[in-house]
Amino acid sequence: MKNAMRSNRLSTICSYVPKADTIADIGADHGKVSAYIYRNSFAKNLIVNDISADSLQKAKKLFDTLKPNGTAAQFILSDGADLKSLISIPIDCIIIAGLGGREITKIITALMPPIAILDPRKNIPELRQSLLELDYQFIADTHIQDKGRFYDIMCVERRICSLTKKTIIQH
Ligand SMILES: C[S@@+](CC[C@H](N)C(=O)[O-])C[C@H]1O[C@@H](n2cnc3c(N)ncnc32)[C@H](O)[C@@H]1O
């Protein structure tokens, strides 16, 4: 697998990325995580998203150096929370790294992806609570060190439960 990242943080994030039809890197900025997904053909469709035009431009510049490999990469300038209304296909997995816990909760609530890989910067206990309330379970939850700083990197999956609350109460 091509993962020549010098950052333990980015390598840890990348190690959780599954193979999926559509993956979105929200707040992609430099585009290194997106480029990893692209290079390793992890997704048929890759959404590279950022709210800042300058940041998205950095990701585009990095992609200009990559060889085409059949992955369809789409660059979308928007708030990550608005992606659902901007693309017509379902997103299987999202990556949100480097944003605050409340912003992450806002985006997850809007998109409700089956899988999310998260690297929050603040309000982490609040984010964990919101994820549980939104029916996500923790598949991985790691505390890592990178260049003298500590990070909580998590991979969560939405529970698929066929019993609705109403059915549970009736039985
Ligand atoms: C600190 S950088 C993190 C870059 C990269 N994901 C990483 O972890 O190294 C945060 C990026 O998220 C973008 N951003 C902030 N809020 C956003 C939102 N609501 N939707 C999409 N992008 C957002 C910023 O413009 C910035 O490029």
CA distance 102 to 121: 10
Could you tell me if the CB of 79 is within 6 A of ligand 1? Answer: yes
Predicted TM-score (pTM) of the model is 0.93
Name all domains of the chain by residue range, CATH numbers in brackets.
8-170 (3.40.50.150)
Could you tell me if the CB of 92 is within 6 A of ligand 1? Answer: no
List the residue whose alpha carbon is closest to atom 12 of ligand 1: 27
pLDDT digits (tens, 9 = 90+) for 121-168: 999 999 999 999 999 999 999 999 999 999 999 999 998 755 555 555
pLDDT of 166: 54
List the residue whose alpha carbon is closest to atom 15 of ligand 1: 27
Here the contacts of 158-165 (C-beta below 8 Å, separation 24 or greater) are: 158/112, 158/113, 158/114, 158/115, 158/134, 159/135, 161/135
What sign does the dihedral 109-16-162-45 (CA atoms) show? positive
pLDDT digits (tens, 9 = 90+) for 14-34: 999 999 999 999 999 999 999
Could you tell me if the CB of 57 is within 6 A of ligand 1? Answer: no
Averaged pLDDT of the chain: 93
Best residue among 13, 30, 34, 50 to mutate for probing ligand 1's pocket (most ligand atoms within 8 Å of CB) is 50
